[in-house]
């Protein structure tokens, strides 16, 4: 059952649940942050509308810089602006930022501890027909490994807005990972959000067996799979891990100790992603049976978002199937 303390959308399991692009919440949050703090500036690499920076650009043209297709310059200029007291948000497709400008993010931003907020939109295979060249499925790995970097993966538009506002106030560099497609609205304005804190979204109604830890756009699929498993008598809970770094060690360990096995779900390579971060913690402090669902050492490809999610085993049925196998092994 849904965790009442999380104050989630009561229509989350209904077919007509409202859907909005996660990136839209970023655009709304950036605009609100700009209204609250004149030091907020925005820089984009020729993707102003796609990344939803357009509302900020129209409201504050003197605080918006169109950098063109120059992602390395995008990061370096933002670092310089941060050194002069500004709070820059830089945005592009995740494949190009942080994909193309990783060294500038590492050395120019993080090494100098500049409060630049890197926004990577169109992450994951659900980008769809753009294909493997534009589907960032390595970005969590390359960003969480950088010292001083905070990594956020909001699950819906509302959480993305909260993450953006929180990032604006965070003193160091932050990476916010966004999806392209419309995603079911899971949270509400009342749902708590705090950088570094995970939240139980779904609680097993009976004996907890499988604990699913999910992030980003796949949290909804994880919730649907949990409800399906509950109907089969497999006690299942879901933890929304909106912050990949710093990892909420306390919540993850408490969650793991309530279950017989852990299943992680992400739209990212299994190597180095959210599941790897969870495994690194559990292997050292509370070993238990675990499986990571994600992309298995492959590139993306062209297709509809639904086709690709199913092809890579990230759909509801695939999640539930993996959970059943894990439940049998851990019984």
Sheet holding 290-295, edge to edge: 199-202, 236-240, 210-214, 261-269, 290-295
Q: What is the DSSP letter of 299?
A: -
Q: Is the pTM of this model over 0.85?
A: yes
The pairing of strands 117-121 and 182-184 is: unpaired
| Whole-Å CA distances, 57 to 28, 48, 61, 209, 227 | 12, 8, 5, 49, 42
Average pLDDT of the chain, as a whole number? 97
How many CA atoms lie within 13 Å of 90's alpha carbon, on the beta-carbon side? 33
Averaged pLDDT for residues 224-252: 98
Residue 12 has pLDDT above 90, yes or no: yes
Q: Is there a contact between 39 and 8 (Cβ–Cβ < 8 Å)?
A: no
Residue 107 confidence (pLDDT):
98
Domains of the chain: 4-16+193-329 (3.40.50.920), 21-184 (3.40.50.970)
Taking only the tens place, the pLDDT of each residue in 37-96 is: 999 999 999 999 999 999 999 999 999 999 999 999 999 999 999 999 999 999 999 999
Q: How confident is the model at residue 330 (pLDDT cuts 50, 70, 90)?
A: confident
330 compared with 168, residue with greater pLDDT: 168
How many angstroms separate the CA atoms of 262 and 209, rounded?
9
The catalytic residue positions are 71
């Amino acid at each position: 059952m849904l965790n009442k303390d999380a104050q989630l959308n009561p229509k989350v399991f209904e077919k007509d649940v409202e859907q909005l692009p996660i990136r839209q919440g970023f655009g709304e949050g950036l605009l609100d942050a700009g209204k609250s703090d004149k030091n907020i500036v925005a820089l984009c690499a020729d993707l102003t509308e796609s990344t939803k920076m357009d509302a900020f650009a129209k409201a504050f043209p003197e605080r918006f810089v169109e950098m063109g297709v120059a992602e390395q310059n995008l990061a370096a200029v933002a670092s310089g602006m941060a050194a002069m007291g500004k709070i820059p948000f830089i945005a592009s497709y995740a494949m190009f930022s942080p994909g193309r400008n990783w060294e500038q993010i590492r050395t120019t931003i993080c090494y100098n501890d500049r409060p630049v907020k890197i926004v990577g939109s169109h992450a994951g295979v659900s980008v769809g027909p753009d294909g493997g060249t534009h589907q960032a499925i390595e970005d969590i790995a390359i960003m969480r490994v950088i010292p001083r970097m905070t990594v956020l993966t909001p699950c819906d538009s509302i959480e993305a807005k909260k993450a953006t506002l929180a990032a604006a106030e965070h003193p160091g560099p932050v990476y916010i990972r966004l999806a392209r497609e419309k995603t079911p609205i899971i949270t509400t304005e009342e749902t708590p959000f705090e950088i570094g804190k995970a939240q139980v979204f779904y609680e097993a109604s009976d004996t907890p067996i499988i604990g699913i830890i999910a992030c980003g756009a796949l949290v909804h699929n994880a919730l649907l799979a949990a409800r399906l498993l509950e109907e089969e008598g497999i006690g299942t809970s879901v933890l929304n891990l909106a912050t990949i770094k710093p990892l909420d060690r306390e919540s993850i360990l408490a969650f793991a100790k309530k279950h017989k096995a852990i299943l992680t779900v992400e739209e990212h390579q299994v190597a180095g992603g959210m599941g790897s971060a969870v495994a690194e913690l559990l292997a050292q402090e509370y070993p238990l049976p675990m499986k990571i669902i994600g992309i298995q050492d492959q590139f993306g490809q062209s297709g509809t978002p639904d086709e690709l999610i199913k092809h890579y085993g990230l759909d509801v049925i695939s999640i539930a199937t993996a959970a059943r196998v894990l439940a049998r092994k851990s019984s």
